[in-house]
């Protein structure tokens, strides 16, 4: 049949937009949904209108134009004006493997998944916020708790005292947890966040002031030493922090202790709480203060040694500065950026290490040129007496810091120094734009999630009931032996999740599982396994109270191939 034959033409109505092509064009990709339209008995398996001689699909017409062009040209491009998940869903429906996307559009196609992964990484804490206007002045959002109580009543479990107490505990647990964990959940949570921020700043300020001479006066302490000749008095001078700074630190520690205990008590997941780095920092910063207070009244030598050690480890209090990440989105974004840019930082370190080794060696031998005859080591006139010392100079020069403590004194050394500075500028400049782009992406996603309203009362479609027109009854339990109905319910989310999981493992996305074993939907994705099991002679008919279709793939194993 020639391509210009009228009988070879086919009209496909997608979302109200009519597309015309040839059946021979649709056969270029065997095993796909459009290839099935080229089968002689396709009229009985799809939504076909004999009056106007066209097939109808209630799908996205704009995306279908690109998919149909893939059959014509053999190149699959991703439209820039279509959201990634929508395009992924359409590819799964039409049975096209996402790995067929052209390299020029692959990054655009993958961008939505990277954005979703980044949004998932911001789960919890200050970024897991809801709709502030909807919360009002209450202690957090109790909508989910009310829904749980309503479900308990609906299941006739509300009369039990244990059920009532459990529901009340879950309700207050969620509210108190949000009060201390999510500053955006309510007005009271913002007050708690401001109080926590105030005590963090006061504690850090106190820690810094304790090291100043004005707050560490020198005191004389007398010790008695017993010996064979008698008792001797010895005066020991030592510094002692003024007492009011200790009181201020004590008040701050009391608040941190109260906050930590409340968060431990009302945490929904105790194991995850223990694993959290910020919670470990809280505990480590609080513990030395209580140990120091408990051991300060003891006079034994062991207690004094432990007390001296605790005074040395006071620096852990400065780690409280990381608690600010709970209250400032930018700090959390910075942490995610550093983790996401690990490869770039590793590349930067490798570049610097190579440059340091090369230029430290070059400067060492370049400075040897001006050595005097009576200087056997050739090091009296230069600071670069060996290569390891040159490492320090190379690092300072490549980072454009330039302390000036070491500098070349010969013309050859100056030439090496100039090359070292230029190489440092170029080396550092290469990975920095990638890190900046990561920060911009994470920050924009964080702002988007912060302003995203909380979704409540999501619509959940009811399952088809016995006797309803949408009820399907399968004679075979296996979905591979079922015909495809246009009216049975479909879990598209499950299909896309399977697609994404397959794509992450081996890049074989668009292999969707059948979502409903009783009666699969015509709108679901096509898997290669289904293509192998379906055949014209092996098809199990199933009674369905609406239109039943019997789609079948070609004998290519359901794979997408270019060309005949």
Residue 177 and residue 192: Cα distance in Å, rounded? 12
On the 0-12 / 13-18 / 19+ scale of CB atoms within 10 A, 485 is buried
Q: What is the pLDDT of residue 314?
A: 74
Residue 387 and residue 357: Cα distance in Å, rounded? 9
Residues linked to residue 57 through DSSP beta bridges, in sequence order: 14
Of 1-15, 268-282, 456-470, the range with the lowest mean pLDDT is: 456-470
Residue 145 and residue 380: Cα distance in Å, rounded? 79
Residue 365 and residue 407: Cα distance in Å, rounded? 14
Q: Is the pLDDT of residue 482 over 50?
A: no
Q: What is the DSSP string of 7-51?
A: GGEEEEEETTEEEEEEHHHHTTSTTSHHHHHTSTTGGGTS-EETT
Summarize the confidence of residues 154-181 as an average pLDDT.
71
What tokens were used for 185?
Answer: 């959940």
CA 136 to chain centre: 29
Which tops the pLDDT comparison, 196 or 501?
A: 196
Residue 196 and residue 190: Cα distance in Å, rounded? 10
CA nearest neighbour of 357 among 383, 384, 395: 395
First-to-last C-alpha distance (Å) of the chain: 15
Residue 435 and residue 440: Cα distance in Å, rounded? 9
Give the largest CA-CA distance in the chain: 125
Summarize the confidence of residues 29-50 as an average pLDDT.
88
Q: How many CB atoms lie within 10 A of CB 22?
A: 19
Residue pair 524/512 in contact by the 8 Å Cβ criterion: yes
Q: What is the pLDDT of residue 139?
A: 52
Residue 102 and residue 312: Cα distance in Å, rounded? 60
- Which domains are seen in the chain, by residue range? 132-181 (no CATH), 187-327 (no CATH), 342-430 (1.10.287.70)
CA angle centred on 434, ends 429 and 440, rounded to 5°: 120
Residue 245 and residue 209: Cα distance in Å, rounded? 8
Length of the chain, in residues: 564
81-93 tens-digit pLDDT = 888 888 889 999 9
Sign of the CA dihedral with 130 first, then 134, 140, and 141 last = negative
Q: Which helix (H) or strand (E) holds 536?
A: none
Query: Helices in 74-182 by DSSP H: which ranges?
Result: 84-94, 103-121, 132-135, 143-154, 161-181
183-218 tens-digit pLDDT = 878 889 899 989 999 999 999 999 889 888 888 888
Please tell me whether residue 231 adopts helix, strand or coil conformation.
strand
Pairing of strands 48-49, 54-57: antiparallel
Q: What is the pLDDT of residue 257?
A: 93
Q: What is the pLDDT of residue 462?
A: 52
Of 182-186, 444-448, 531-535, the range with the lowest mean pLDDT is: 531-535
pLDDT band at residue 423, thresholds of 50, 70 and 90? very high
Q: Is the pLDDT of residue 160 over 60?
A: no
Q: Is the pLDDT of residue 476 over 70?
A: no
State which of 2-6, 49-53, 237-241, 442-446 shows the largest mean pLDDT: 49-53
The answer for residues whose C-beta is within 8 angstroms of residue 517's C-beta and 6 or more apart is: 474, 477, 478, 479, 482
């Amino acid at each position: 049949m020639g391509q210009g034959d009228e009988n070879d033409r086919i009209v496909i109505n997608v979302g109200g937009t009519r597309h015309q092509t040839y059946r021979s064009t649709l056969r270029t990709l065997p095993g796909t949904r459009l290839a099935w339209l080229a089968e002689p008995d396709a009229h009985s398996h799809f939504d076909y209108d004999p009056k106007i001689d066209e097939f109808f699909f209630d799908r996205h017409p704009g995306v279908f134009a690109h998919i149909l062009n893939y059959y014509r040209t053999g190149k699959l491009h991703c439209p820039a004006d279509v959201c990634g998940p929508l395009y992924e869903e359409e590819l799964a429906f039409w049975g096209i493997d996402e790995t067929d996307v052209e390299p020029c559009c692959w990054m655009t196609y993958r961008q939505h998944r990277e954005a979703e992964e980044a949004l998932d990484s911001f789960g919890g804490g200050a970024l897991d916020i809801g709709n502030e206007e909807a919360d009002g002045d209450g202690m957090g959002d109790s909508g989910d708790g009310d829904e749980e109580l309503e479900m308990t009543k609906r299941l006739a479990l509300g009369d039990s005292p244990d059920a009532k107490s459990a529901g009340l505990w879950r309700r207050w647990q969620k509210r108190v947890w949000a009060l201390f964990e999510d500053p955006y959940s309510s007005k009271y949570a913002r007050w708690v966040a401001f109080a926590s921020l105030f005590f963090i700043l006061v504690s850090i300020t106190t820690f810094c002031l304790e090291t100043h001479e004005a707050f560490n006066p020198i005191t004389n302490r007398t010790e008695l030493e017993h010996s064979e000749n008698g008792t001797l008095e010895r005066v020991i001078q030592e510094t002692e922090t003024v007492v009011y700074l200790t009181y201020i630190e004590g008040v701050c520690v009391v608040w941190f202790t109260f906050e930590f205990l409340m968060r431990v008590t009302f945490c929904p997941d105790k194991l995850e709480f223990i694993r959290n780095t910020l919670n470990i920092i809280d505990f480590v910063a609080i513990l030395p203060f209580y140990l120091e207070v408990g051991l300060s009244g003891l006079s034994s030598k062991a207690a004094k040694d432990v007390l001296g050690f605790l005074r040395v480890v006071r620096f852990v209090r400065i780690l409280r500065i990381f608690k600010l990440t709970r209250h400032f989105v930018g700090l959390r974004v910075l942490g995610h950026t550093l983790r996401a840019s690990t490869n770039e930082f590793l590349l930067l370190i490798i570049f610097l290490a190579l440059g340091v080794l090369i230029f430290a060696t070059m400067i060492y031998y370049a400075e040897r040129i001006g050595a005097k005859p009576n200087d056997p080591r050739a090091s009296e006139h230069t600071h670069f007496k060996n290569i390891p010392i040159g490492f320090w100079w190379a690092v300072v020069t490549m980072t454009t810091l330039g302390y000036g403590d070491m500098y070349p004194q010969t013309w050859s050394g100056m030439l090496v120094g100039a090359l070292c500075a230029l190489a440092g500028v170029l080396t550092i400049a290469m990975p920095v734009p990638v890190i900046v782009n990561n920060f911009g992406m994470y920050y924009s996603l964080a702002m988007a999630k912060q302003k995203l309203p909380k979704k409540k009362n999501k619509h959940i479609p009811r399952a088809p009931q016995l006797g309803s027109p949408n009820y399907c009854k399968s004679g075979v339990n296996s979905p591979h032996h079922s015909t495809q109905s246009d009216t049975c319910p479909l879990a598209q989310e499950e299909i896309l999740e399977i697609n994404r999981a397959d794509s992450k493992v081996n890049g074989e996305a668009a292999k969707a599982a059948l979502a409903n074993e009783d009666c699969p939907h015509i709108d679901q994705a096509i898997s290669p396994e289904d293509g192998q099991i379906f055949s014209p002679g092996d098809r199990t008919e199933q009674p369905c109270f609406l239109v039943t279709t019997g789609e079948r793939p070609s004998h290519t194993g359901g794979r997408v191939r270019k060309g005949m």
